Amino acid sequence: MAEDGWLFDAFQLAEVSQGRPLSTLAFALLRRMHLIAHFQLSEARLARFLCAIEDGYPSNPYHCRTHAADVLRTVHCMMTRGKVGKMLGGDQRVDLLAVYLSALIHDFEHKGVNNQYLITTGDELALRYNDHSPMENHHIAAAFQLMLHDETNFFTNTNSKVREVIRRYVIELVLATDMKQAGSLPTPPPLANMGNKGQGVMDDDLRLLTLQMVMKVSDLGHLAHAKDVHRRWVQLLEEELFRQGDLEVAAGLPVSPLMDRTKAGVTRSQAGFFSLVCLPQLQAFTTVFSGCQPMLDQARENNQMWLEEARLQGEASPAPGLSGSPSRRYGPVVLPPMLSKADDGEEAATAPVTPAVVERAEGEEAGAAEGQRK
């Protein structure tokens, strides 16, 4: 089945599903992994819920239903083919349902601008959530509100204890996609100690932390896609960021970094982003979860592509602006929690990251999750 492959083209799925990549993929995965039967999910209600979620994704260049489908496919791949689910050692079906639902809704009704923009402009979501991850809080709350309606409440026959666990997981997983939240995640030594044993029973907190990392990596999953697909995602992200820049210009606000369409955007800073953020993170992650190594391999290939382009353009690499002193504003960025003791990951886990890189990283996740650009 196509969704099992590491290299996935969600744009193609959007075409063949006639504009329904998210609901089509979600229903197929839930059925294929026997989650519908196991949790006694109402198929008709589930189908209506999936379509309602998909319809709630605006046609943003980047934060659209196709992106959500792409993230969903990546979490599935990491949990199954990458064997992360097995390593968690708990009830894999609960974990799977939680990450699937999280991926499904993680950018629901995304406004195409970042959290800082919402806060600066006094958007109603910023007011409602007191400036705390307004976009992410909205994704979650709005999605669960759909279940208030009988016709879309697919959980009616599911054990209430399971529902409670799933809800708690989904809330924590989607909130973690805000880079500012992720930056403060504690480091759990037990997971690092697992090394490459490939087995282990984690306690609930550690399992949750791991699933948060799966979500975060998947939200940037295009970095490990085939070159042409990855490039297309970066171009779409750039356009979305430029559109926010346009709004900022129109509102008389300072234009955020990488959002000024008269200057270089994210397509010109990929090499530095890979070298300083993406690759260290993936390297640290795959040191523990070796089943996900293909993601790192492909990301390295993509990095080579950007390095070559930078070379041809006569740019230094890392790109200007991606080096310098650590940001006072953000402080050192703590990289993926479970990886702090990995051989290759230790240095990366404590390495300070420059303000420009933080901005770049946040810009990458430009929606459901990451901070600065969100």
Q: Which residues bind Zn ion (CB under 5 A)?
A: 107, 219, 367-368
Type of residue numbered 309: E
Other Cβ atoms closer than 10 A to 42 = 18
- Is the peptide bond between 318 and the residue preceding it cis, with omega within 30 degrees of 0? yes
Of 67, 77, 82, the closest CA to residue 177 belongs to 67
Other Cβ atoms closer than 10 A to 367 = 30
Q: Shortest distance, CB of residue 86 to Zn ion, whole angstroms? A: 25
Q: Is 93 annotated as contributing to ligand binding?
A: no
Q: Which is nearer to Zn ion, 72 or 87 (CB)?
A: 72
Instruction: Please state, in angstroms and rounded to a whole number, the distance separating the CA atoms of residues 65 and 315.
Output: 35
Helix, strand or coil for residue 169? helix
Q: Shortest distance, CB of residue 10 to Zn ion, whole angstroms? A: 12
Instruction: Please state, in angstroms and rounded to a whole number, the distance separating the CA atoms of residues 259 and 245.
Output: 5
Q: Which is nearer to Zn ion, 192 or 214 (CB)?
A: 214
| Catalytic (active site) residue 38 | no
Of 147, 141, 140, the closest CA to residue 48 belongs to 147
Q: Which is nearer to Zn ion, 66 or 256 (CB)?
A: 66
Indicate which residue of 63, 110, 222, 230 is catalytic.
63
Instruction: Please state, in angstroms and rounded to a whole number, the distance separating the CA atoms of residues 260 and 245.
Output: 5
Please give the DSSP secondary-structure letter assigned to residue 277.
I
Can you state the angle between helices 43-55 and 92-105, rounded to 10 degrees?
40
| Residues, the chain | 374
Nearest-CB residue for Zn ion: 368
Of 93, 119, 80, the closest CA to residue 253 belongs to 119
Q: Which is nearer to Zn ion, 79 or 194 (CB)?
A: 79
The encoded tokens of residue 221 equal 């999953």
In sequence order, which residues have a C-beta less than 8 Å from that of residue 145 and are 6 or more positions away?
none
Instruction: Please state, in angstroms and rounded to a whole number, the distance separating the CA atoms of residues 82 and 75.
Output: 9
Q: Shortest distance, CB of residue 370 to Zn ion, whole angstroms? A: 8
Q: Which is nearer to Zn ion, 192 or 358 (CB)?
A: 358
Q: Is 106 annotated as contributing to ligand binding?
A: yes
Q: Is 152 annotated as contributing to ligand binding?
A: no
The encoded tokens of residue 39 equal 């949790």
Q: Is 219 annotated as contributing to ligand binding?
A: yes
Q: Is 77 annotated as contributing to ligand binding?
A: no
Q: Is 76 annotated as contributing to ligand binding?
A: no
Q: Is 4 annotated as contributing to ligand binding?
A: no
Q: Is 28 exposed, middle or buried (0-12, 13-18, 19+ CB in 10 A)?
A: middle
Q: Shortest distance, CB of residue 46 to Zn ion, whole angstroms? A: 22
In sequence order, which residues have a C-beta less than 8 Å from that of residue 30 and are 6 or more positions away?
36, 41, 46, 97, 100
Phi-psi region of 170 (alpha: psi -120 to 50; beta: other; left: phi over 0): alpha
Q: Shortest distance, CB of residue 110 to Zn ion, whole angstroms? A: 8
Q: Which is nearer to Zn ion, 179 or 258 (CB)?
A: 179
Q: Shortest distance, CB of residue 326 to Zn ion, whole angstroms? A: 26
Q: Which is nearer to Zn ion, 173 or 335 (CB)?
A: 173
Q: Shortest distance, CB of residue 368 to Zn ion, whole angstroms? A: 4
Binding site feature residues: 63-67, 106-107, 219, 270
Binding site feature residues for AMP: 63-67, 107, 219, 270
Binding site feature residues for Zn(2+): 67, 106-107, 219
Active site residues per annotation: 63
